């Protein structure tokens, strides 16, 4: 049932995940669901925990840095596979078992890697904020590959110019010159690759964390 719900959210979007719709998918009446789940909130909780379960736990057979790197990349992939989950994490307050396991493993990886408790908390906070924040950005964008991104960037830019009644593209560029430079002048030409952008920022953060760890 949770799997079916996930598949439905994946395939048709979270907004069309209805109790009735889900019940249909399962060949059951809507009210039947309430025998397995107290309400829709808990259903969503369960779905979120499935996503957590898909994230690679950091292993102990490599150094903390590569373990954290892998876990971060795995997190982005999971959140990208299930974009509906990103908007959901926010509201969920009670973590499921998979979430707890992951939390514990990440904290353990850092502690065993030689981080103090205080630094561990900070390192965890920075990494997670970055991961979820990046997923959030990525989610709200309607393209996947770098080539697509260029086309979309140009089109959106043009569309916005039309939308702004009186203005022409030129005037818009005049009001927001730096935006124009970056979006129309760069992204629209060479595109934007989310995966490599993510890893760039990730390595930047891991570098900084390593330095903090060594000088403490």
Binding site for a second copy (CB under 8 A): 86-87, 89-94, 100-101, 103-105, 107-108, 111, 117-118, 120-122, 125-126, 128-134, 136-137, 139-140, 142, 160, 163, 175-179, 181-182, 185-187, 192, 197, 200-201, 204-205, 207-209, 212
Angle at 66 between CA 65 and CA 72, to 5 degrees: 90
16 touching DNA, by CB under 7 A: yes
Q: Which is nearer to DNA, 31 or 204 (CB)?
A: 31
Those residues with Cβ within 8 angstroms of residue 136's Cβ, 6 or more apart along the chain or in another chain: 86
35 touching DNA, by CB under 7 A: yes
Count the site residues for DNA by CB under 7 A.
Answer: 18
**CA-wise closest residue to 195 among 150, 154, 144:** 144
39 touching DNA, by CB under 7 A: yes
The label of the residue with tokens 């390595």 reads 203
Binding window for DNA (CB under 7 A); candidates: 31-39, 84-92, 125-133, 180-188: 31-39
Which entry of a second copy, DNA, none binds 44, CB below 5 to 8 A by partner kind? Answer: none
Q: Which helix (H) or strand (E) holds 53?
A: helix 40-53
Binding window for DNA (CB under 7 A); candidates: 6-14, 24-32, 140-148, 175-183: 24-32
Which entry of a second copy, DNA, none binds 34, CB below 5 to 8 A by partner kind? Answer: DNA
Distance CA 192, CA 195 (A): 9
Q: Which is nearer to DNA, 49 or 138 (CB)?
A: 49
Distance CA 97, CA 120 (A): 21
Which entry of DNA, a second copy, none binds 166, CB below 5 to 8 A by partner kind? Answer: none
114 touching DNA, by CB under 7 A: no
Q: Which is nearer to DNA, 12 or 147 (CB)?
A: 12
Distance CA 184, CA 191 (A): 10
**CA-wise closest residue to 28 among 5, 47, 51:** 5
**What tokens appear for 186 in the block?**
């760069």
111 touching DNA, by CB under 7 A: no
Distance CA 190, CA 123 (A): 33
DSSP-derived secondary structure letter, 160: H
């Amino acid at each position: 049932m949770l799997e079916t719900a996930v598949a439905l959210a994946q395939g048709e979007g979270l907004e069309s995940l209805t109790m009735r719709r889900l019940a249909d998918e399962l060949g059951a009446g809507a009210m039947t669901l309430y025998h397995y789940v107290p309400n829709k909130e808990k259903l969503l909780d369960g779905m979120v925990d499935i996503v957590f379960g898909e994230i690679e736990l950091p292993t102990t057979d490599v150094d903390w840095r590569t373990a954290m790197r892998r876990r971060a990349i795995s997190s982005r992939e999971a959140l990208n596979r299930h974009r509906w989950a990103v908007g959901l994490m926010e509201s969920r307050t009670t973590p499921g078992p998979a979430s707890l396991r992951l939390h514990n493993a990440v904290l353990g990886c850092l502690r065993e890697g030689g981080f103090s408790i205080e630094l561990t908390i900070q390192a965890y906070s920075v990494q997670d904020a970055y991961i979820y924040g990046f997923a959030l950005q990525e989610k709200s964008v309607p393209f996947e590959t770098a080539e697509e991104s260029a086309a979309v960037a140009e089109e959106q830019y043009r569309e916005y110019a039309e939308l702004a009644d009186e203005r022409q593209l030129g005037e818009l560029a005049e009001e927001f010159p730096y935006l124009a430079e970056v979006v129309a002048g760069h992204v629209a030409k060479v595109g934007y690759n989310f995966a490599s952008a993510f890893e760039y920022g990730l390595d930047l953060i891991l570098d900084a964390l390593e330095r903090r760890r060594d000088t403490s």
